[in-house]
Structure 1
């Protein structure tokens, strides 16, 4: 496995999708035959950091191992700083695929320049929760009025969109009733809470169930205040539109095997998709349920064309 890194600065030359809604750059020069992967070329994936714990098996390495075994192809990983950078790497033909949660998938697919290779429907479990330290005076979501809250990433389903919707339902409006900061990931939001920089951290419900190393607080050190609604689409694998047909078919067959229930524990942060029955090549309408929740966070999917 080869591993590359694209920093935020390195993405400046790539046409950016922004959450305020801007026109997508013309991609007529991409997707040509000279950018399509040959049938025996490495499969390339863009990922965000999943774990910094040197004592634990990195879920990205596990993903690569399993995908190489199922496809008999080398897999190369490019590390990028956030979800939107994953989308940009795919849309600009820097990588073949990326694994995304529901909201960034919807944002990406709505541009018309990225394909959903497959998607996992949601279940009836809460997606997100907001956590506080055990000695915090905050007992409920309503108590977060006037407080500072850490979110993972402005394109994160479990670390931003669903918590903002949950807070909205509790009568709290971002920038009016509470201050939001973006910590660059779930680990960053946990660190901000631990260091007393914020009053609460909103994160994936699943991470709190997993415990260390994905969730750093031991029993008795933290409390959850509130649970979000379920999500109709749990996540997806996005692909560049210039991906060759043979590789596309190979991935459609291999990825459900990679994300089988038996691999759930090893996949750790990716384990939320494991064991779910995917929808192959879903239509853009599959992601339409995100529009209302996105608008609560000030994002209009139709602006991202």
Structure 2
């Protein structure tokens, strides 16, 4: 099978499209024929091996897992003996931070995956897992969002941010969102009650008061959380120094500030699927690339100016759906 491999740390240029052995399955896994992927900041962090301490998980001197990629959507090709709730032919989406998704086939653990809702497309659903789970878990699991509360979302137009705005609205929150001037109309269309353009107003001087602060961009200071919010959730950081500063100040402060890494699970993926199927959340795919251009897609999101999400396709989706309908499983 074809897959993008990496044998050293570096930028998108170190990725090589190669023929590799098709993965074998464990009893608790199933094999997915990948139709679409999505690119995430996690991909280029893992690709570059930055921040350096992350290499203790992904390989100190060179990558442990040769195949990059987390988000996917595709069709179940084969199931292991212990897999009960998925069958050959199911349209599924999910993610694995262990990598392996930027390939024609990827092995999947059942509890990191969910069935795609009827009427949704592969490119659309491939863009959901990491960004959607991060937004949902930031708001609900770690932010403890309650209906009627006010939420301040920094970085509202990106992959995680555009999900966070919509999910907060779906859960009954009043949303104040931060983005650039050029994205104001986009973020308002997502459902934000108020939009602040960071290139017009310095958010580090903003004096609004909110129940919950969510920072998906990663440039808020500890003083910003305390000044504006009752509690906060950090989703990302702009630099290692910024991360260390925030974590040190959190350790010496009573302000409730959470930091986490999203974890894939079927329940949360099903919640996201339901929100999408019911029209409460829409996936905005800004650009779609061929699988051959996966390195270019990663380079594009690394610039951190993406509106919504970026998808990559392994096959023509119309052909996939036509073949699926004509095949008896």
Higher RCO (C-alpha under 8 Å, 6+ residues apart): 1
TM-score, scaled relative to structure 2: 0.29
Q: How high is the TM-score relative to the length of structure 1?
A: 0.30
